């Protein structure tokens, strides 16, 4: 009987996926799909659409991974991506509904309009952020709602970018647990942003 290959640790799978290893990415998807689906299903009622949103999350992750500087902090970045994709789903769905009611045209069109469910999701996220310690809640608000860069958050606090990055990581880890995404490492940066160095 052939020996069973042990599942590599998450950091290794993320690192190999960043290098475009499709087998490693498949294992990563298999390993983290339950977490992603758990988050999505709480916010998207239709099972088929929830699966489509989860697939969209992993498509986004595949293209964003090469820009992720800290593979060991992948899990909370994944939670943030998942929540963002759910919010985008609700925005698009509501925009389509409004357009159909107004014009009879069901062709999809990008929009930034919030939906009632999207607004409810945002309210849920903000409520959970309010339960975090103030130093963590403030940096999450500034990073994800005010869209400040890590440098803009760091300078008034006399912190380094790395210190802000770690603080955001702790905040996202706690927020992910509170929102049903489990624990794990965290990556508060957006791929392509100013990152934790400097």
Supply the CATH number for residue 68's domain: 1.20.140
- pLDDT tens-digit map of 38-59: 999 988 888 888 888 888 888 8
Asked if residue 4 is part of any domain, the answer here is no
Structural domain boundaries, residue 163: 10-178
Angle between helices 22-41 and 47-64 (to 10 degrees): 140
In three-state secondary structure terms, 120 is: helix
Instruction: Yes or no: say if 78 and 61 are a contact pair by the CB < 8 Å rule.
Output: yes
CB atoms closer than 10 angstroms to residue 46:
11
Instruction: Yes or no: say if 72 and 169 are a contact pair by the CB < 8 Å rule.
Output: no
Asked if residue 194 is part of any domain, the answer here is no
Asked if residue 183 is part of any domain, the answer here is no
Asked if residue 196 is part of any domain, the answer here is no
184 pLDDT higher than 70: no
Average pLDDT over residues 119-131: 73
Asked if residue 170 is part of any domain, the answer here is yes
Question: Whole-model pTM?
Answer: 0.52
Using the CB atoms, write b or e for 175-198: b if 16+ within 10 Å.
Answer: bbeebebbebbbbbbbbeebbbee
Q: What is the pLDDT of residue 106?
A: 57
Give the number of domains in the chain: 1
Asked if residue 49 is part of any domain, the answer here is yes
Q: What is the pLDDT of residue 74?
A: 87
Asked if residue 72 is part of any domain, the answer here is yes
Q: What is the pLDDT of residue 12?
A: 87
CA angle 7, 191, 38 (to 5 degrees): 50
């Amino acid at each position: 009987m052939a020996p069973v290959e042990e599942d590599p640790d998450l950091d290794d799978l993320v690192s190999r996926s960043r290098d475009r290893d499709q087998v490693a990415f498949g294992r990563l998807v298999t390993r983290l799909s339950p977490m992603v689906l758990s988050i999505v299903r709480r916010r998207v009622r239709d099972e088929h659409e929830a699966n489509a949103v989860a697939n969209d999350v992993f498509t986004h992750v595949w293209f964003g991974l090469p820009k992720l500087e800290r593979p060991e902090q992948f899990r909370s970045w994944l939670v943030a991506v998942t929540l963002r994709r759910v919010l985008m789903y609700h925005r698009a769905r509501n925009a389509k509904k409004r357009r159909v009611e107004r014009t009879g045209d069901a062709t999809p069109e990008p929009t930034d309009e919030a939906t009632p469910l999207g607004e409810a999701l945002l309210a849920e996220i903000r409520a959970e952020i309010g339960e975090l310690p103030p130093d963590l809640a403030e940096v999450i608000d500034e990073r994800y709602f005010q869209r400040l860069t890590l440098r803009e958050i760091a300078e008034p606090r006399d912190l380094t970018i790395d210190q802000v990055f770690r603080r955001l990581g702790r905040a996202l880890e706690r927020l992910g647990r509170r929102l049903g995404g489990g624990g794990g490492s965290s990556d508060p940066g957006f791929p392509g942003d100013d990152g934790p160095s400097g």
